[in-house]
Amino acid sequence: MTPEALNKKFEDAVDCINNHTEPFPADFLLRLYAYYKKATNDYGRPNSRKQIINAFKTNALFQIKNITPEEAKEKYIELVNNYFLYRK
């Protein structure tokens, strides 16, 4: 897949998540968070008001520290596609 095609699919997956109105499971959101941050090279610290949430986010980021941004985009797309495929 070309970088442009990957970026387009990633952006479509992000839009799909952002436009969804029902709540997501917490573990799913943590994985999305980590892959999104890695895919977009956003290395800012988690900024939740609750320390426990920041700890979970930091742990999720730590678990994927060895993948590339391109791999993170692919994983994000796969995660979104699988969620909408199997949730019904």
Per-residue pLDDT 10s for the chain (88 aa) are 899 999 999 999 999 999 999 999 999 999 999 999 999 998 777 888 899 999 999 999 999 999 999 999 999 999 999 999 887 5
pLDDT of residue 46: 83
pLDDT of residue 37: 96
pLDDT of residue 1: 84
pLDDT of residue 41: 92
The pTM score is: 0.91
| List of domains in the chain | 3-86 (1.20.80.10)
What is the rounded CA–CA span in Å between residue 36 and residue 23? Answer: 18
Cα–Cα distances in angstroms (integers) from residue 56 to residues 4, 47, 60, 76, in the given order: 32, 12, 6, 18
